[in-house]
Structure 1
């Protein structure tokens, strides 16, 4: 099974820095969240095992956040160690679709979108830290989007 870092590297490898595609940690978090949600909906299983939490700025995969936090709010460079072979062909297709649909949006727009969605809204509590967004709630929400 791929890790959340593998999923993050997939999205970073898709970015075209020369064309102005800059991926910050905030944007990366949302892309990885959408990948997990749609994977749960389409395949009935998680793309990766790591938990997703409801933070102030939307869903966050803590392991991905901590891996890239040294970039601050700036763009994260192309990964030199990305290995697409950790994904099945079906997973690559799903990740490409997530990139095509959600990768066009700014980090801030993605943040706003996730704030309107049930998985984050139902699990974020101001002042509470590290509240997990249950995978089963994500699966139910994203299944409705896939229909």
Structure 2
């Protein structure tokens, strides 16, 4: 069974240290999902999850994921009590670890500012799906730089 955007969200929740005050807002979760999907397309030549990313005003958004956590608004989303990472093959865990290490350190608004300068969002009309082809092409350039 393929992983979903909710599995990817659970991975990022699993990396939080809530005792240290780590939180994950919906905004930050959306941007991390975008980076995870883009790098999966570039490195694995396939999407990490089947749900689309859409160009919204504040950057790429996975609408089902957004709706799931919309009630939490900008506050931190409570992590689910049980997270099963066994749904991911080792290569996907490696990719998600790298995305977290590089991008998880940034605040939500910093990530938003970053994605608003990037081609996949800039070259997609608001409310249109950001194509896998566009994501892959851009993230391949990021691997080369």
Q: Secondary structure at the match of 1:59?
A: strand
Partner of 2:17: 16
Q: Does 1:131 align with 2:131?
A: no
Give the deviation of 1:124 after TM superposition: 3.6
Give the CA deviation at 1:13: 1.4
Name the counterpart of 2:139.
142
Secondary structure of 1:22's counterpart equals coil
Q: TM-score, normalised by structure 2?
A: 0.95
- 2:73 counterpart of 1:72: yes
1:49 counterpart residue number: 50
Counterpart of 1:27? 28
User: Post-superposition, which runs of at least 4 consecutive aligned residues in structure 1 deviate over 4 A?
Assistant: none
**Structure 1 position 64, deviation (Å):** 0.4
2:105: which partner in 1? 104
Alpha-carbon separation, structure 1, partners of 2:98 and 2:21: 20
Q: Which residue of 2 aligns with 1:36?
A: 37
Q: Do residues 58 (structure 1) and 59 (structure 2) align? A: yes
TM-score (norm 1): 0.94
